[in-house]
């Protein structure tokens, strides 16, 4: 009897260990609810390259040239991501009234602005890219054959909300 109890307890522990611990919550529409994506220090250096690789794979599938990161466009994107958080709204104008063109000029970008994509979300950079690809106007900025350079940055608030900004230039 003692051996049977030990087997039962071991079986219970084994079954409990099978659970992932990350139960997916589902909304009333049956779709998974968003989960907070916390950007850790180890992820900060990987995120830009995952996004760039994904953008370039999408562009290659359509025959468009790959994009390269541009430090000035990255700076313009970082400034706007933080500013959107301060304003608590996703939009293309800075708290000082600046436009995307104003921001790329301020950082000394010598090229031509192609476009800017923004997002306010709790999702990853790849989920955000996927959402941008669904909408024709934001997809056009990513896939524009004239684009040659990319700036990408984010600002994450303590509550987990992320403000993403992508700027493309030629």
Domains of the chain, residue spans? 41-169
Contacts 24+ apart (CB under 8 A), 93-101: 100/76, 100/167
41-169 under CATH 3.40.33.10, yes or no: yes
Half-sphere exposure at residue 56, Cβ-oriented, CA atoms within 13 angstroms: 14
Q: Quote the pLDDT of residue 22.
A: 52
90, 113, 119: which is closest to 100 by C-alpha? 113
pTM beyond cutoff 0.85: no
Using a 10 angstrom Cβ sphere, with 0-12 exposed, 13-18 middle and 19 or more buried, the burial of residue 32 is: exposed
Sign of the Cα torsion 87, 94, 150, 58 reads positive
Task: Decide: 132 and 138 in contact? Cβ < 8 Å.
Answer: yes
Q: Quote the pLDDT of residue 34.
A: 65
What average pLDDT values come out for the chain (170 residues) when binned by 10 residues? 47 45 71 73 88 98 97 97 94 93 97 97 92 97 98 95 97
Q: Quote the pLDDT of residue 21.
A: 46
> Tell me: the pLDDT tens digits for 40-51?
778 888 999 999
């Amino acid at each position: 009897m003692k051996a049977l109890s030990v087997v039962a307890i071991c079986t219970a522990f084994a079954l409990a260990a099978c659970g992932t611990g990350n139960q997916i919550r589902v909304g009333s529409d049956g779709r998974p609810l968003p989960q907070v994506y916390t950007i850790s220090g180890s992820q900060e250096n990987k995120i830009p390259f995952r996004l760039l690789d994904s953008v370039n794979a999408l562009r290659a599938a359509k025959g468009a040239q790959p994009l390269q990161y541009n430090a000035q466009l990255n700076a313009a994107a970082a400034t706007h991501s933080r500013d959107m958080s301060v304003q608590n709204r996703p939009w293309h104008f800075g708290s000082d009234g600046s436009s995307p063109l104003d921001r790329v000029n301020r950082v000394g970008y010598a090229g031509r602005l192609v476009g800017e994509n923004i997002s306010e979300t709790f999702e990853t950079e790849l989920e955000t890219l996927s959402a941008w690809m669904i909408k024709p106007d934001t997809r056009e900025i990513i896939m524009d054959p004239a684009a040659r350079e990319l700036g990408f940055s984010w600002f994450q608030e303590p509550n987990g909300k992320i403000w993403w900004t992508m700027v493309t230039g030629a």
